[in-house]
Amino acid sequence: MNEPNTSRDLNSDAQAASVHVSAAPAHAPRILMVCTGNICRSPLAEQLLRENLRTAGIDAVITSAGTQAMTGSAMTPEAAARSSQYGASHTRHVARQLTEELIADADLVLTATREHRRQVVSMLPKATRYTFTLNQFARLVAPAALVDAPASAGAGSAAQNAAVEPVETSMRLLPPVSRARPPLDFAAFIAGVALTRGLHPSPTPPTLDDVDDPYRQSATVYARAAAAINGSVTRITAALIAAGV
């Protein structure tokens, strides 16, 4: 299997910040990634989205947690390797348990699966307004993302989940953030996306809104999960850039 090439320019002297601490200002959007053990899918999504937004010049606080976290554990070596392949500048991570407080503190919660989304909302019902699966959110913001995203990253979630070969994406193709525009009301942006849920049909089958759990699975399953995560993260990044975050 051909490994993906990434074209992000990473600063060689960049220091690996603490996994759950960001130097972004207090008003920066807070995005929480959720999976089961917090050692595969959610830290991979966390690291790739953080790297993409950093490269795009967007301040955001990206964290992750697990519904049944293997608290204190690092990422699996397989997930860390995929994270590095897709351009993350560091893969340092310590798993933590999802709590109601973490959900309440987030402006956007992105989960690996629909079941994780259900668990988040059951813990904090009002979070239904800003909780989506990762693939679902990428699908809902795709019209905006397609304005700026490369064609290879514009394929639907179904293609990302079905692909065994990782999809090459390049953050250099994304335009810089226009500083001429006023700051985006991120909460209003998320509310607007939530309103479109009923306007977009669910994929067939609905499981295409999920990212398969690669834990203790083959390299092929890890590759498929990482490709799906990377594709969705790339589309989300493009949409945030287009929206002026």
| Other beta carbons within 10 Å of 188 | 9
**pLDDT for the residue 4:** 47
Domains of the chain as residue ranges with CATH:
30-165+178-243 (3.40.50.2300)
Q: Report the pLDDT averaged over residues 65-70.
A: 98
Q: Report the pLDDT averaged over residues 69-83.
A: 97
Please say whether the beta carbons of 48 and 83 come within 8 A: yes
237: pLDDT strictly greater than 80: yes
Q: Report the pLDDT averaged over residues 99-114.
A: 98
Question: 83-104: per-residue pLDDT in tens?
Answer: 999 999 999 999 999 999 999 9
Higher pLDDT among residues 195 and 173, named by residue? 195
Q: Report the pLDDT averaged over residues 150-164.
A: 38
**pLDDT for the residue 26:** 45
Question: 169-181: per-residue pLDDT in tens?
Answer: 444 434 554 455 5
